[in-house]
Amino acid sequence: MDGIGIAMKKGSAESVASTEANFACAIQSELQRPYEPRFSRAWTLAGSAAVISSLSTSASLAADAGSFAEPVAAALAAYSLADLATGVYHWFVDNYGDASTPVFGAQIDAFQGHHRYPATITRREPCNNLHALARAIAFALPAVDAAASAAAAPAAAHAFAGVFAACLVLSQQFHSWAHENPRRLPPGVEALQAAGVLVSRAQHAAHHRAPYNNNYCIVSGMWNGLLDRHRVFEVLEMVVFFRTGVRPRSWDEPDAAWTENTTVTAIAATAKAGNE
Ligand SMILES: [Zn+2]
Ligand SMILES: [Zn+2]
């Protein structure tokens, strides 16, 4: 190898080392977003207790009525509609507002961080991914159940509310599994992804590629095809733009603030090629 080649190799090796150090810092800060494990676990537990209470109320009413058909149908409807709800919510936080937005700021910031460093979602403790939605459910679901009980609603109403809430909370776990290496998935999850019961890795990978404006649903992904085929979110974005003048982030891609940081990969690949 000549002098220039050696200098280039040395330069690229130093560049890789410094970029990797920066990347490690960024990953570390991403993983260390404000997070208090005890509170996150407590909120996840509180959300889970609300879901279990709702489902047990449904089971008890169904047993009294002698039929489980309606609550089971309601649960399936809730599972389907929760996928749609995650799609609308994900579209909103991906495209509008920022960390300073009231109420949704932390979630918007977290989703932005996720687009920058997608793999970190698989490295967090599950409660760290689930606690924000679990906290909302811990407050909202008991109120919904109380209102349903006051109105003498049937078992199906409680089943719908409980399953819908459970799917919303677990959507971030399903999302995490969509980013996980198949070899590290719990038994059965890969089969559920392949069957379309849980959002698949392939479908969600498309969300993380340009043009960054599709496949927003993250429970089963069953609504993604329909929503994307009919450009539903693009129509909503046009409505928002013409009414408020606010542009969604997806119109301005590529934007380094939320596209994946692939610099390290690219430089490492270049250095590897130079060594061969
Ligand atoms: Zn997204
Ligand atoms: Zn993702």
Tell how far the Cα of 10 is from the centroid of ligand 1, in angstroms.
37
More confident residue, 135 or 254: 135
Tell how far the Cα of 257 is from the centroid of ligand 1, in angstroms.
13
For residue 269, pLDDT beyond 50: no
For residue 192, pLDDT beyond 50: yes
Ligand that comes closest to the CA of residue 87: 1
Token duo for residue 210: 């340009």
The mean pLDDT of the chain is 85
User: CA 249 to CA 213: how far, in whole Å?
Assistant: 9
Tell how far the Cα of 219 is from the centroid of ligand 2, in angstroms.
12
Cα atoms in the Cβ-side hemisphere of radius 13 Å centred on 217? 25
The percentage of residues in the chain with a pLDDT greater than 90, rounded to a whole number, is 69
The tens digit of pLDDT for each residue in 193-235 reads: 999 999 999 999 999 998 899 999 999 999 999 999 999 999 9
Ligand that comes closest to the CA of residue 112: 1
CB 217 within 8 A of CB 224: yes
Question: Which DSSP string corresponds to 203-217?
Answer: HHHHHTSTT--S---
More confident residue, 101 or 24: 101
**Cα–Cα distances in angstroms (integers) from residue 78 to residues 65, 81, 141, 240, in the given order:** 21, 5, 14, 28
For residue 164, pLDDT beyond 50: yes
Tell how far the Cα of 1 is from the centroid of ligand 1, in angstroms.
45
- Please give the pLDDT value at position 178: 97
More confident residue, 53 or 270: 53
Tell how far the Cα of 128 is from the centroid of ligand 2, in angstroms.
15
**Cα–Cα distances in angstroms (integers) from residue 199 to residues 66, 72, 207, 243, in the given order:** 34, 21, 12, 33
Tell how far the Cα of 138 is from the centroid of ligand 1, in angstroms.
25
For residue 267, pLDDT beyond 80: no
For residue 87, pLDDT beyond 90: yes
- Please give the pLDDT value at position 274: 40
Mean pLDDT of 99-114: 91
Provide the whole-model pTM: 0.81
Question: Could you give the 3-state DSSP secondary structure of residue 182?
Answer: helix
Ligand that comes closest to the CA of residue 118: 2
